Chain A
Amino acid sequence: MQNEHQLTEAESLQIITEMIGKVKSHFHESGSGAILWGSVIGFCSLMSFLQLYFHFSIGFDIWILSLVAIIPQLFIVWNNRRKRTIETYSEAAMNAVWSTFAIVLFGLILYLNLIGNISKQLMLNEQQLLLMKNTQTGELKEIVPFVLSSNSLFLLIYAFPTLATGFIRKFKPMILGGILCMLCFVASLFLNTTFDFLLQAIAVIVSWLIPGLILRNRYVKQQMGNV
């Protein structure tokens, strides 16, 4: 592009439009993060459902996979930063939304793991004990306090970043996925834990895995077009 040419007003307008258009067409998300977490959480939820429904055990906690998935996620973040030549405002907003989600998710997991024993101790300090009564035998059994339908809370917070991403990016598959998360959340209030896992699997596959695959497809097409 030459610099010395004296611009007319129409040419100025054309340059502005052309450059803004070039930025718009440049950016395409690879969808790797959505595919990773959609697959991992979907698989773990489905395995949990199958184990509870068919009464078998695979011998270890399947949710360990979600911790292992942090390693490829870190690689995805590092690789994206390495390849990135621009940072758009919507990309910055997305990073903020998903980072907030990760912090909230960590907080929720911490809460669910600690609250039972802490509550039990606090109750004991006040000479109180939580008992569960079998209405048939009349037997009283001591229980650790627990959060009812905790999987519903996961479905609720999955809806937040999914909907936010869908609205900010104007990406329909994620808007629909977020709405599905909300519907699954409401449905989970009326179902037991076994089926909560099934709902969770459906929700993450529809709201993360499928949109991730759509993004991936667009990204691959764009990369092939650039070759």
Chain B
Amino acid sequence: MSEKLIVARGLTKTYGDFIAVDGIDFDVAKGESFGFLGPNGAGKSTTMRIIGATSVRTSGTLTILGKDPEVHGPQIRAHLGVVPQQDNLDNELTVSENIFIYGRYFGLSSSFINRKIPELLEFAQLEEKKDTKVEALSGGMKRRLTIARSLVSEPDILMLDEPTTGLDPQARHILWDRLFRLKEQGVTLLITTHYMDEAEQLCDRLIVMDKGKIMAEDSPAQLIKDYSTKEVLEVRFGSDRNQEMVDVLRPLADRIEVLPDRILLYATDGEQLLEQITAKGIHPNTSLVRRSSLEDVFLRLTGRSLVE
């Protein structure tokens, strides 16, 4: 295995009686794109803050590039690019001034930053907006600027907390494309998300978190293989009939999950299962066969949906 940039053992964070992160272990290798998948409140953002040396762990050990954030906070922050969940761009400044001053916070020279700005503006597709005040940008542009800004110090690790939450589908796809490019350049990415498609698109490896604990850890494909079947058949009978159909359907599928509005039937071949059901004279109002996703993995692991 290649060089490990982050090593966490028994990492724990409590706020009074509340355990936000409950003794988790994980390693992140250089150049890897590592994800934290889980619902809101799973402890993902807290873990990110501890790695970002802006929160102090309660117990456990953590090293980032061989350093302990508790002892060498500023040194670790110098290695990191941070893209927080809520944009904290400087609204009173222009697009290029935002990148400039952020570089100055790291102590970088003006000449270095000024050489860097055109490259970052191109990356963020914001060349036209360089002298525009940040206030006037769209949500997607702001997020891209936040990423560009975080890259000014050429970080070894880029941390993205819910990078596409609140963006429209088009803006999400542009952002994913930009993050892919970074991944190709070998930047180590740390991503938290509660979107399974985002995790599947961007992460080489991820941990599924719930209530501060790690439920599973692997590549998206392997997790799906381990915790779900190849396909899923989704059937709806109308909210009053869903429950009574469960007992009839249960023997037919490998596994069954009942959601408020639909029933999920897990099988290797979804179409075949649907045929079996119709052959028994059962006719759902609607049916859909799809591939298993991380959503199904999460449902299997926790009995709950990711997005509630």
Whether A associates with B in a native complex is no
Residues of B within 8 A of A (CB): none
Residues of A within 8 A of B (CB): none
